[in-house]
Amino acid sequence: MDIKKDFDSREILQLVTFRLGNEEFSLDILKVQEIIRHMDLTRVPRTPEFVDGVINLRGRVIPVLDLRKRFGLKEDEKTNETRIIVVDIDNTTVGLKVDAVSEVLRLPADTVEPPPAIVTGAESDYIKGVGKLDGRLLILLDVAKILTHTEKDALGTVQTAA
């Protein structure tokens, strides 16, 4: 992936950062519709494991994905910090369950580097890049890729189930 193409070097990125385990991730703020506290979910049968269920968001029914499961991390108890980041991509509204939301920050685009070659591959192409800020490493996610990928996986799971 050519990172230079994605970011204009003078551009300032506005990111929502959140935590999964010990790692810090971030999303483009424009993709985020809102952040809500964790609420009771209704499990949906015959969906991939990382689909936690559906919630009632002010009368709308939206699916919630557990990003821990999505990224193959160990499951963790939900805490007071657990949040659902509601993202809206091409009219698809989806909630992403994360351990905690930390902050909104600005990051000059030229401090973002492409993901190290060793972690790139079909499975991790939802990583857009890695940002550096005061010695912290920040993984920039491509939300659309998380979704399209899960869709493909979901299809696969359903087929094997049937």
Partner 1 sequence: MSFPIDEMDDIINDFLAESGEALEQLDQKFIELEKNPGDLTLLNDIFRSVHTIKGAAGFLGFQQTVDVTHVTEDVLNKLRKSEMAVNPVIMDAILQSVDMIKVLLRNIKEKNNRVEDTSHVVAALANVLNGSAEMPAPQAPSAELKPQEQEAPRQAKPDETAGVKEKEQSIRVDIDRLDSVLNLAGELVLSRNRLMRLGSKLTESNSESELSSHLNEAISQLDLVTSDLQLAVMKMRMQPIAKVFNKFPRMVRDLARQTQKEIELAISGEETELDKTVIEEIGDPLVHLIRNSVDHGMETPEERVAKGKPRCGTVSLSAYQEGRHIIVSVADDGKGIDPNAIKKSAMEKGLISADEAEKMSNKEAFNLIFIPGFSTAKEVSSISGRGVGMDVVKTNITKINGSISIDSEIGKGTKIIFSLPLTLAIIQALTVETGGEIYGIPLATVIENIRVTPSEIKTIDGKEVISMRDHVYPVMRLGQLVSGCTNDTESEWKYIVIIGIGEKKFGLLVDRLHGQEEIVMKSMGEYLKGTVGIAGACINGDGNVILVLDMSGLLESLNKLCYC
Q: Which stretch binds partner 1 (CB under 8 A): 10-18, 59-67, 106-114, 124-132?
A: 59-67
160: contact with partner 1 by CB under 8 A: no
Q: Are 141 and 127 in contact (CB under 8 A)?
A: yes
**Interface residues for partner 1 in 14-53 (CB under 8 A)?**
40-47, 51, 53
Among residues 32, 62, 96, 143, the one that binds partner 1 under rule CB under 8 A = 62
106: contact with partner 1 by CB under 8 A: no
Residue 59 token pair: 């009368």
**DSSP, res 121:** S
* Interatomic CA distance for residues 27 and 87, integer angstroms: 9
Please list the helix, strand and coil fractions of the chain in percent, rounded to the nearest 5, in that order: 25, 45, 30
Interface with partner 1 by CB under 8 A: which residues?
40-47, 51, 53-56, 58-63, 91-94, 147, 151, 158, 161-162
